[in-house]
Structure 1
Amino acid sequence: MVIDKVALTLAVIGALNWGSIGLFGFDLVAFLCGGQMGTVSRVIYTLVGLAGVWCITMLFRETEPIEGDAHA
């Protein structure tokens, strides 16, 4: 699903941003978008948070076997 890939991409972006905060004390999103309380930054933080919630649902989904998959 496309939404799964978008959510996963946003979650990875969020994880990389948190990694840069933890390692270097540098918030890349805030730097690029006008500070932590800037409107664009807050929208990005919200989208990353929603993507994280969506990714939680991916953990509990049953996967359908792919046709022709020898392991199924």
Structure 2
Amino acid sequence: MPRKDFIGIFLLSVIGWQEVMGAPVDGRKELLAVVVGVRDSEQSWYKLLIDRKHRGLTMAPKLGIGDGVLGFWAALR
């Protein structure tokens, strides 16, 4: 899979699933991941992040900005 740069990543946590949307430099939205999980669960977000790594994520984002999504921040540690 070719490397792709994103200028933004959006996290959505809804009852029953979590998704990650990316905004490439061309400005369109791209679905990066959807997983079944518990809303704001550290374990669910950790599982999603590990899945991204196994699917080719080789460089961690340089900046994270968020409103809430406490499980995501805990999973990053």
TM-score, normalising length from structure 1?
0.29
More helix by share: 1
Of structures 1 and 2, the larger Rg is shown by 1
User: Whose RCO is larger (CA < 8 A, sep 6+)?
Assistant: 1
TM-score, normalising length from structure 2?
0.28
